[in-house]
Chains A and B, each alone.
Chain A
């Protein structure tokens, strides 16, 4: 009898051990960094995001533990069809496990579908649209860094509370701009502010003079810029030429990256208020990371929040893989694990991967420094306020994600 039991126990132990070994044996991971490598988002994501991914692989030290991790990168050229073609080929031919970065909301949503279909892992850090974790949420997607809801709420709320209770919008005339204006309008009204009007401008506008004159004539205290990239930098530069900042009106760039501020220059950008979730000069940990990062960048630029998000997202992904003891090549399973483990990394601090895939962490309200306050080429921001993660992002009760209805 005793021998039977011990034999059974031994058998069970062996089965368990072999099962453990089987999953532990597969320790290969392939990362695809899909980004705009040469267009208007190349500076804020692009090659820097690939570098961030490489640093995440190195810092995870998984290679010392016998893992084999490869990174490939692709250029989606800001076209949804090119993005999906690359992503599909990555999954079919190159056997990619995880797609990271993907700026441009249109491309991001298209790739979201492919990753879900192929059961991969999608850690988006570059796109703004909050649809990724609402109407179009997926069990394979984790959305790091920021989204339109966060931008609208953090910046909008802070500015209205600071006395900016009348608004005028300059909006890029397409889906992303409209969403950002809509979200911000709701926040302004919620906080007792008033929207005096708005004007839509075509994408990629060179001459903002007529729009800016309308904004000036509106006498609104805040001119909200619901646009991105080149449009934002152009409108801010031209606003300075019209003396809008000096006339008492304040500009609010609703989506502004470190590289945008650098491109505008402190002289013009000073005093701008906006929200980001990462800045290289926040604390010792971000400074240490940024130093290592910028040493390896071609133009010695510190990381933007998008690039930092790629790093943080992958670090969390590796944690989930380690917890699973190997790569199961099952995207939904890995993402479920990522949601179980609390997020904690040196760049974004503590955070939660919510059930809808949204990662919530602190958001920071910044003001661009005056040229006299800046001590270095990248010393651009002054921290004005901190919004805790649970207030900065869409509350789960308001999320329209189908994953939440169970």
Chain B
């Protein structure tokens, strides 16, 4: 992975300032979306996937761990939130909380098992665990198998914000996304993030310096899983359903695709990648199954022509970290 990201520049005050400017620009752009005539539902969905891709990027871009089972966090949090909201009639904030907590717990268990191995073995273990969960959810009565959990009530957040109003829901999702994004940004630039990067570059050396790398990797895995779960819980309010699609392995693949298209190990790359992929799915939907083929072509050309991804190439060109 180092070949892709070794030109990440060291954090300087200038880089920090640049990133905050881009962040502010992104926040403003997203905030005015409802007044532009762009279909807000599409943007909400893209925001959920953007947060998911960012969480995934935290693990692979900065920790060098390629998880091929991140859909399990998305789906688990989605199912738990959906069940809590619909069957237990939890208020939205509690629903999000239990969903995210479930993903965190899952992250602890799966992370503990999978970080014992490295490279392709790590990826395969995460894939195996997510497939295991997929079949569990296929059979478990509370998920309603192929039908999924449907017609989930949106309710009032904190008793004030009526989430069934698209505009209110949009800003709630936006705030959730920005908060998650900032948390990831903060993590990357913390001493913890520096240690993660050093593990990515040279794990034996990090061990020789006295770092317990397994613990760092586990924490990164749990954090990534938790944030992916948070995205899954938010998505429940947008889509009002939780289905097997979200735990299927192809979803894990899509997350990898989004991150790669946007730029691995870049801060804004996954957001751009998520918007590109979701927009493709949305506007090319008329082509049916061909969407998958088009996605494949884009994936191949992305890997062959601009390996750093859209944002990664831009950052490289501008000699900035983005």
A residues sitting closer than 8 Å to B (CB atoms) are 37-39, 74-75, 77, 79-82, 84-86, 88-89, 92-93, 105-106, 109-110, 113-114, 129, 136, 173-176, 203
| A106 CB contacts on chain B under 8 angstroms | 146-148, 243
CB of A158 to closest CB in B, whole Å: 28
Q: Please, which residue of chain A has its CB at the minimum distance from the CB of B289?
A: A38
Query: Would A75 and B240 count as touching, CB distance under 8 A?
Result: no
Query: Would B146 and A174 count as touching, CB distance under 8 A?
Result: yes
CB of A137 to closest CB in B, whole Å: 12
Q: Which of B42, B144, B151 interacts with A113 by CB under 8 Å?
A: B151
| Given A37-B288, A175-B144; A85-B45 close (CB under 8 Å) | yes
Query: Would B39 and A109 count as touching, CB distance under 8 A?
Result: no
| A93 CB contacts on chain B under 8 angstroms | 39
| A38 CB contacts on chain B under 8 angstroms | 288-289
Query: Would B288 and A109 count as touching, CB distance under 8 A?
Result: no
B residues sitting closer than 8 Å to A (CB atoms) are 39, 41-42, 45, 138-139, 144-148, 150-151, 239-241, 243, 245-246, 285-286, 288-289
Can you give 23 contacting A-B residue pairs, CB < 8 Å?
A38-B288, A39-B289, A79-B243, A80-B147, A80-B148, A82-B245, A84-B239, A84-B241, A85-B41, A89-B42, A105-B147, A106-B146, A106-B148, A106-B243, A110-B147, A110-B150, A110-B151, A114-B240, A136-B151, A174-B145, A174-B146, A175-B145, A203-B146
| A84 CB contacts on chain B under 8 angstroms | 239-241
Query: Would A80 and B285 count as touching, CB distance under 8 A?
Result: no
Q: Which of A109, A114, A173, A203 interacts with B147 by CB under 8 Å?
A: A109
Query: Would B138 and A174 count as touching, CB distance under 8 A?
Result: yes
A79 to B147, CA, bound (A): 9
| Given A93-B39, A106-B147; A77-B288 close (CB under 8 Å) | yes
| B144 CB contacts on chain A under 8 angstroms | 175
Query: Would A75 and B41 count as touching, CB distance under 8 A?
Result: no
Query: Would A81 and B147 count as touching, CB distance under 8 A?
Result: no
Further 13 A-B residue pairs, CB within 8 A, beyond A92-B39, A129-B147: A77-B288, A77-B289, A80-B245, A81-B243, A85-B239, A86-B285, A105-B147, A110-B150, A110-B241, A113-B151, A174-B146, A176-B146, A203-B146
Query: Would B39 and A89 count as touching, CB distance under 8 A?
Result: yes
Query: Would A113 and B150 count as touching, CB distance under 8 A?
Result: yes
| A37 CB contacts on chain B under 8 angstroms | 288
| B146 CB contacts on chain A under 8 angstroms | 105-106, 174-176, 203
| Residue of A75, A85, A113, A176 ringed by the most chain B CB atoms within 10 A | A85
A79 to B250, CA, bound (A): 13
A136 to B241, CA, bound (A): 15
CB of B93 to closest CB in A, whole Å: 22
| Given A174-B138, A175-B144; A75-B241 close (CB under 8 Å) | no
Contacts between the two chains (Cβ within 8 Å), count: 71
Q: Please, which residue of chain B has its CB at the minimum distance from the CB of A111?
A: B150
| A74 CB contacts on chain B under 8 angstroms | 285
Q: Which of B138, B151, B246, B286 interacts with A81 by CB under 8 Å?
A: B246
Q: Which of B42, B45, B243, B286 interacts with A80 by CB under 8 Å?
A: B243
| B286 CB contacts on chain A under 8 angstroms | 75
A39 to B291, CA, bound (A): 13
| Residue of B138, B245, B285 ringed by the most chain A CB atoms within 10 A | B285
The 5 closest A-B pairs by CB, nearest first: A113-B151, A38-B288, A106-B147, A75-B288, A175-B145
CB of B286 to closest CB in A, whole Å: 8
| B145 CB contacts on chain A under 8 angstroms | 174-175
CB of B172 to closest CB in A, whole Å: 18
| Given A88-B41, A92-B41; A81-B285 close (CB under 8 Å) | no
| B246 CB contacts on chain A under 8 angstroms | 81
| B41 CB contacts on chain A under 8 angstroms | 85, 88-89, 92
A266 to B144, CA, bound (A): 36
| B239 CB contacts on chain A under 8 angstroms | 81, 84-85
A136 to B147, CA, bound (A): 13
A75 to B272, CA, bound (A): 26
A114 to B240, CA, bound (A): 9
Query: Would A75 and B147 count as touching, CB distance under 8 A?
Result: no
A136 to B240, CA, bound (A): 15
| B243 CB contacts on chain A under 8 angstroms | 79-81, 106, 110
Q: Please, which residue of chain A has its CB at the minimum distance from the CB of B164?
A: A117
Q: Please, which residue of chain A has its CB at the minimum distance from the CB of B166?
A: A92
| Residue of B138, B144, B243, B245 ringed by the most chain A CB atoms within 10 A | B243
A136 to B138, CA, bound (A): 21
CB of A241 to closest CB in B, whole Å: 28
CB of B283 to closest CB in A, whole Å: 11
| Given A106-B147, A109-B147, A113-B151; A80-B138 close (CB under 8 Å) | no
| A109 CB contacts on chain B under 8 angstroms | 147, 150
A115 to B47, CA, bound (A): 25
| B147 CB contacts on chain A under 8 angstroms | 80, 105-106, 109-110, 129, 175
Q: Please, which residue of chain A has its CB at the minimum distance from the CB of B147?
A: A106
Query: Would B241 and A80 count as touching, CB distance under 8 A?
Result: yes
| B45 CB contacts on chain A under 8 angstroms | 85
CB of B64 to closest CB in A, whole Å: 32
| A105 CB contacts on chain B under 8 angstroms | 146-147
Query: Would B289 and A81 count as touching, CB distance under 8 A?
Result: no
| A175 CB contacts on chain B under 8 angstroms | 144-147
| A136 CB contacts on chain B under 8 angstroms | 151
CB of B265 to closest CB in A, whole Å: 29
CB of B171 to closest CB in A, whole Å: 17
| A203 CB contacts on chain B under 8 angstroms | 146
Query: Would A81 and B245 count as touching, CB distance under 8 A?
Result: yes
A16 to B243, CA, bound (A): 50
| A77 CB contacts on chain B under 8 angstroms | 288-289
A93 to B285, CA, bound (A): 15
| Given A89-B39, A175-B144; A81-B288 close (CB under 8 Å) | no
CB of A242 to closest CB in B, whole Å: 28
